Amino acid sequence: MDVFVIGITGGIGGLLARKLLSRGDAVHGLVRREDQQAELASLGVNTRVGDLSGMTVEQLATAFGDVDVIVFSAGSNGGSREVTTAVDGEGVVKAIEAARLAGVERFVLVSVLPESWRERDLPDEVEYYFAVKKGADIAVSRSDLNWLILRPSLLLDGPGTGTVSLGPAEFHGQIARDDVAATLAELLHEPRIGRQILELDSGSTPIDEAVRANVRS
């Protein structure tokens, strides 16, 4: 499988790249700097240097090339409104259009659970972040692509457990980025899952079993 990862230098994107490479998949990605390109090349990842916010749809489609699936895992993490708009909002719309232009049908978006941090008094920038992420979910779900939206709980560093809770609706808890990446890798290798929104939390079900349980009959 050929996979293009937008956000390959991020926490989830980097872990996903390594897991896919270990499966024998070809991994491609977009980086901003040449030193990042050299580092990923040493792992066997083919990258293109470019800034998502400044690229045209045509340039991004050219970067995608003839891959099997695009994973959008980039995000501003509630930073400035300008960055959130450019990456989490306009960036997703641009990637959808570029995927269509490149002829890539499968598109996977890493989003957030709508309930995230609802127990907190959030700054305006973070509230804006959640609103933009919701808009991106809508844009993906209304596209004609073979899409999948994955909404993980609060992300943690550290080793994963290899077990999760995955389904159309999950409680908001916390989960290791390593388990999110492992779940993504498993989902990418399950072609029967598509045009679905899945939520992901820590749990007791082995990842491969959790993914198979969400295959529609």
- Distance between CA 150 and CA 180 in Å, rounded? 9
Strands 163-167 and 205-206: antiparallel
Give dist(CA 126, CA 176) in Å, integer: 21
Which residue in this structure is represented by tokens 């779900």?
Answer: 141
Catalytic choice (4, 64, 128, 129): 129
Q: Where are the beta strands (DSSP E) in 61-126?
A: 69-72, 106-110
How many whole angstroms separate alpha carbon 165 and alpha carbon 181?
Answer: 14
Dihedral, 124, 130, 135, 138 alpha carbons, nearest 10: -160
Question: Rounded to whole angstroms, how far apart are CA atoms 179 and 38?
Answer: 26
Catalytic (active site) residue 129: yes
Which residue type sits at 111? S
C-alpha to C-alpha distance for 150 and 107, rounded to whole angstroms: 11
Taking alpha carbons only, the member of 112, 129, 27, 139 closest to residue 78 is 129
Give Cα separations from 160 to 28, 32, 42, 144, 177 (angstroms): 24, 28, 25, 34, 7
Catalytic center residues: 129
